[in-house]
Amino acid sequence: QVQLVESGGGLVQAGGSLRLSCAASGIPFSINAMAWYRQAPGKQRELVAIISSVGSTNYADSVKGRFTISRDNAKNTVYLQMNSLEPEDTAVYYCYVRTMVRTYWGQGTQVTVSS
């Protein structure tokens, strides 16, 4: 069955770093884009960063220069390196996978940044 296993979330002080990972398995289609979204309490889910199958990337303005998305196509894994974290980055972070047929979501991992 399809699984998106996320890891790396946690509690960190402002200015600190975290690295999120999401390993996708069991997806019966070729993966196009992989991405990270986040949802803070009381807010809508928003795109944080996205990476195409050939490595093109896009970032939300709020994380440019601080976050870096990367992927290992051989492992169907996407990473999000988060540096200079701010309390405003506190949210549940969701892994997202897009294929030609459908999309898949991870279960979410909590990131909490204390001031």
Residue 10's pLDDT band (cuts 50, 70, 90): very high
Residue 51's pLDDT band (cuts 50, 70, 90): very high
Residue 50 CB: number of other CB atoms within 10 A? 19
Among 115, 103, 112, smallest CA distance to 47 is for 103
For the chain, how big is the Rg over CA atoms in Å?
13
**What pLDDT was estimated at residue 113?**
98
113 contacts: CB under 8 Å, gap ≥ 6: 11, 12, 13, 14, 16, 85, 86, 87, 88, 89, 90
Q: Which two tokens stand for residue 60?
A: 């939300």
Burial class (CB in 10 A: 0-12, 13-18, 19+), 27: middle
**What pLDDT was estimated at residue 3?**
94
**What pLDDT was estimated at residue 112?**
98
Task: Tell me the per-residue pLDDT of 52-79, one tens digit each, with 9 for 90 and over.
Answer: 999 999 999 999 999 999 999 999 999 9
Q: What is the mean pLDDT of residues 103-111?
A: 97
Q: Which two tokens stand for residue 52?
A: 């195409």
